[in-house]
């Protein structure tokens, strides 16, 4: 059964750990992403993981992981609502880099979940849907690790604007590392073209930020790159990268 409430209380964090993370973040603030990834792999070893939705940023990090730390456990939150193109990209990534991204699923199938709630919740209560089918799952996965990497950029949204390169993730009780915090969308796509990195073909159809199919639409010229997510609502984040208040 999906979780109604996720415990987001802040754990006690040793001041020494916070000081270590702040120092590492300051030292790596202007470092290239490869240096940040290598630092993370050396610092946390098999206690490091990466979460990816197979966006262009995630594909770029996977490209580097294959060279720098190919044994890193990488996972995707398979809500059951993803585009077929997204899941096909997982197969292309595996073929190209030898990295098999683990599909981590909720406790219920889509059919079971919708039957429990009298239909889909993604339009009537998207926060609940994200909590049950994403946040509960990542909380379960991250419980096995000390640190996780994400592909967020500071220029994507206000919730991400203050993201440190290395910091403590209060929400999930692990260290969070953002190798691409200082990068821009243009730099990401320049590298994808230069290195012929696999990417989701939906990007060529106007989908800039891609999540679950029912909650994602293409964007038009002049719109924010996350305008296609939960369009028509005030929601802009699933909760994975939202700031705690």
What are the tens digits of pLDDT across the range 63-118? 999 999 999 999 999 999 999 999 999 999 999 999 999 999 999 999 999 999 99
Residue 144, Cα to own-chain centre: how many angstroms? 17
Higher pLDDT, 238 or 72: 72
pLDDT per residue as tens digits for the range 193-205: 999 999 999 999 9
Query: Would residue 212 show up in a list of annotated catalytic residues for this protein?
Result: no
Would you say 101 and 61 are in contact if contact means Cβ atoms under 8 Å apart? Answer: no
Instruction: Quote the pLDDT of residue 30.
Output: 94
Average pLDDT over residues 209-219: 87
Tell me the C-alpha distance between 120 and 127, whole Å: 12
What does the H/E/C string look like for the chain?
A: CCCCCCCCCCCCCCHHHHHHHHHHHHHHCCCCHHHHHHHHHHHHHHHEEEECCCCHHHHHHHHHHHHHCCCCEEEEECCCCECHHHHHHHHHHHHHHCCCCEEECCCCCHHHHHHHCCCCCCCCCHHHHHHHHHHHHHHHHHCCCCEEECCCCCCCCCCCCCCCCEEEECCCCEEEECCCCCCCHHHHHHHHHHHCCCCCHHHHHCCCCCCEHHHECCCCCCCCCCCCECCCCCCCCCCCCCCCC
pLDDT band at 6 (very low <50, low <70, confident <90, very high): very low
Instruction: Quote the pLDDT of residue 223.
Output: 67
Mean pLDDT over the full length of the chain: 88
Instruction: Quote the pLDDT of residue 13.
Output: 79
Instruction: Quote the pLDDT of residue 238.
Output: 53
Average pLDDT over residues 40-53: 97
Global confidence as pTM: 0.88
Higher pLDDT, 75 or 155: 75
- Of 48-57, 173-182, 212-221, the range with the lowest mean pLDDT is 212-221
Instruction: Quote the pLDDT of residue 231.
Output: 63
Which listed residue (59, 130, 212, 238) is catalytic? Answer: 238
1 pLDDT above the threshold of 50: no
Task: Kindly state which CATH superfamily the domain 15-199 is placed in.
Answer: HUPs (3.40.50.620)
141 pLDDT above the threshold of 60: yes
The full set of domain ranges for the chain reads 15-199
């Amino acid at each position: 059964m999906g979780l109604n409430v996720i415990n987001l209380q802040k754990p006690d964090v040793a001041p020494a750990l916070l000081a270590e993370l702040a120092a590492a973040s300051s030292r790596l603030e202007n470092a290239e992403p490869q240096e940040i990834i290598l630092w993370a792999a050396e610092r946390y070893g098999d206690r490091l993981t990466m979460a990816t939705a197979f966006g262009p940023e995630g594909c770029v990090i996977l490209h580097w992981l294959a060279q720098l730390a190919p044994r890193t456990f990488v996972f995707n939150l398979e809500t059951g609502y993803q585009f077929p193109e997204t899941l096909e990209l997982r197969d292309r990534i595996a073929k190209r880099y030898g990295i098999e991204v683990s599909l981590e699923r909720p406790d219920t199938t889509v059919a079971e979940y919708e039957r429990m709630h009298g239909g889909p919740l993604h339009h009537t209560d998207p926060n609940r849907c994200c909590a049950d089918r994403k946040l509960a799952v990542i909380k379960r996965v991250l419980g096995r690790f000390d640190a996780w990497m994400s592909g967020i950029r500071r220029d994507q949204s206000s919730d991400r604007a203050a993201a440190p390169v290395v910091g403590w993730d209060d929400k999930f009780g692990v260290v969070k590392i953002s190798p691409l915090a200082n990068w821009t969308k243009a730099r990401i796509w320049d590298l994808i073209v230069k290195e012929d990195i696999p990417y989701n073909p939906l990007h060529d159809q106007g989908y800039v930020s891609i999540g679950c199919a029912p909650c994602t639409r293409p964007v038009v010229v002049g719109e924010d790159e996350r305008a296609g997510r939960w369009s028509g609502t005030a929601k802009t984040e699933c909760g994975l990268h939202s700031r705690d208040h």
